[in-house]
Every structure is written in structure tokens, then in C-alpha cells.
A and B are shown apart, each in its own frame.
Chain A
Amino acid sequence: MRSFIILIWILALGAVTPAAAQGWTEDRGELGTEADELALGQDVQRNVGPPAGAPRTGAELMASLTRVALGIRCPSCLSHSINDSPSENARNMKRQTRAMLAAGYDEQQVRDYFQSAYGEFVLMMPKAEGFNLIVFATPVALVLLGLGAVGWTLKRKRSDEAVAGVGWSEDEADKKADDLDPWLQKVREELKRDG
């Protein structure tokens, strides 16, 4: 009976989840025409100047769109890029990206445009400059620190082994000590003679 209830639950979840996802991605906005979709925002040229390249179409446009969209963060879902997020905010931003690329704006101009409105936060990969350098430098510094710690530990271990004579038998250790210390050798000879 219990497994039957669990099965019903699983089936119900399977039916509800796609419906919920469909509801989430439903377009609530006024349907724009193709001209609306390709229309640039009023402020684009003022922000990033005229298009730096030639207009893109077809496969070139789609490849460029995917590349740029993967690097722009969806502002309402934070951990997803606008390429991956099904939210309306992300879809609007992807449309804007497509319109700019189709008009001949280069990929950096598109990133700069979004950054001018949302700040650097909108970039999935922070720029390697200023305070951000900590993000890039910390892993390298930690690896170097780790290598240094390993080297220092190995060196210390080797020096301890040399002092303790680890790996030598007692006789060998005595012989090494005698070789190193003539005074000790003298004491041993005297003890032998006396006793």
C-alpha cells in the first residue's frame, strides 16, 4: 500500500512539474513583431556608439548570440546566464543581444551595454582588474603556499632523519658517531681499557 502511494506521488509530480515549468516560461508581455524584436533600445547608440562591425545573420548570428548570452548573468535568477534562464527578464535581454548583434554591434559592445545599465555584476566572469584580482590571484597564491608548506615539511623531515640516524642499525649508528666524534672514540677506548 505504501509503495502504491509513493508511486502515485511520483506520477503526480511528473505531471505537475512540466506544467509548472510551462507556466513559468509563458510570455506575459505584449507580443512584439519581428521589427520590435530587432529594434534597438533608444539608448544603445548613446551608450556604446555606432556598430563596430558588419551586420550578422544566420549561423554566424546564432553562434555569436550563444557566446555572448552565456557570459551575461540573468538579473532576476542570479546564478544563470541569460542563455540558460527561462525567465522573461533573461529572454528580453537575449532578444536585445540578438538585435544588437544583428545590427553589427560587436560582442564587447553588447557586454558594455548591459554593464552600463546593470553594473559589472551582470557579467558572469568578472574582469581581471582592481579588487577583482583577488579572485584570480588567491587560488594561485594558495597553490604556491601549499607547495611551499610541502617543501618545508620534506626538508624538515630530512634534517630530522639525519639527526636521529633513522634507518641505521645500532652498531652502524655507533660507528657513524665514532667517525664524527674523535672525543667519543677516546672515551670508549678508555672505558674498554679500564674495564
Chain B
Amino acid sequence: MTRRRKLHWGVLLAGLLPIGVLVAVLGRGFSLDPGYIASPLIDQPAPDFELPRLSDGAMISRESLEGRPAVVNFWATWCASCPQEHPLLVRGAAEYAGRAAFVGVAYNDKNEAINGWLKRHGGATFPTLVDVNGKAAIAYGVYGVPETYVIDSAGTVRFKHTGPIYLPLLRKQLDSLL
């Protein structure tokens, strides 16, 4: 009788152990944001790029942004949330004029479409670069547009935001670097 009872406890524990582990793993998983994937670029040197500027085709490199914090925003004319984000970036660029560089990188887009989109959405107070074949987006590990990177004056990536950026968050990041 005693032997049987001991065996049942063993079976119960053997069954409960994997269930407990599963519940712990799922509990941790459900408490995290499933859309958040940490960027390996944080605190790493920002990937280099040299892309044509939409307005005149002049090549603009990432190094040319060094010396002050930079906001690099990947966007596209076919992106659904970019129209909501654009005015905030324009306002942010005006607020930090002379203190931080703002650059828009149009991803997988055509010059004609970008020009038309900017005209419809009030223009831009910062340069737009065209990422042909998405090589800069790949270098930055862009999952989808819009995505915004904040780079410090020495060229190190300090922050990445997936989805439309909002001004208080952008201010907080830039102020910490100024």
C-alpha cells in the first residue's frame, strides 16, 4: 500500500514538472510584446550608407551626418502609417534645427511617387534619400516601414523605434544625446 502511494506521487510530480515549466515559459512569453525584436545595432557603430538625395541626386553618406545626433527615418509612400508620422518628423526637425540632423530614407520607392507624396503631405524640411534595392534598409535591419534610428554625434546607434515615432519619445532620445 505504502509502495503504491509513493509511486503515484512520483507519477504526479513527473507530470507536474513539465506542465510547470510550460506554464512558466508561456507566462513569460505572454508578458512580452510579440512584435518587439531587439536590434543588435544598439550601441554599435551605425552602418554606412551612401544614397542619392531625392532633390538633386547628390550622394549623401552616413558619415556626413556625424558631429551631431542624427535621426534616420525609413519610410515609403505605400506605407499606411507614414502620413500620420510625417508631420511629427517635420515638427521635430524644425525644433532641433541646427542641433540634430534629420534624414528620411525612402525605401523601395520610385522618385516620381516620392515627389508626389511629399507634395501631397506638405513637403519636408529635411533631405530625403532614395534607397535603391533596399541595401541601406538591410544594413539597418529594417523589418518594415516606418522605422526610426537615433544615432549619436560619434556615429553610434542609440535607439530604434519600429512603427510611427511620436514626438515626446523622439525628444527624450535626442535630449539625452545633446
Which A residues have a C-beta under 8 Å from some C-beta of B? 27-30, 32, 36-37, 39-43, 46-47, 75-76, 88-89, 92-93, 95-96, 114-119, 121, 145, 149, 156
Contact = CB atoms under 8 A, between A and B. Distances in A.
* A interface SS class: helix
Contact of A41 (B38, B45, B138): B138
A119 B110 contact: no
A36 B38 CA distance: 30
Given A42-B139, A43-B139, A156-B7, A30 B41 contact: no
Contacts, number: 96
B134 A117 contact: no
Given A28-B78, A117-B41, A117-B141, A41 B108 contact: no
Given A29-B134, A76-B143, A95-B133, A43 B40 contact: no
Given A28-B108, A30-B111, A43-B48, A117 B132 contact: no
Listed from nearest, the 9 A-B pairs whose CB atoms lie closest are A92-B134, A117-B141, A29-B108, A42-B48, A43-B47, A41-B135, A118-B141, A75-B143, A119-B40
B40 A116 contact: yes
B130 interface: yes
B37 interface: yes
B136 interface: yes
B66 interface: no
B102 interface: no
Contacts of A117: 40-41, 47, 138-141
B85 interface: no
Contacts of A36: 132-133
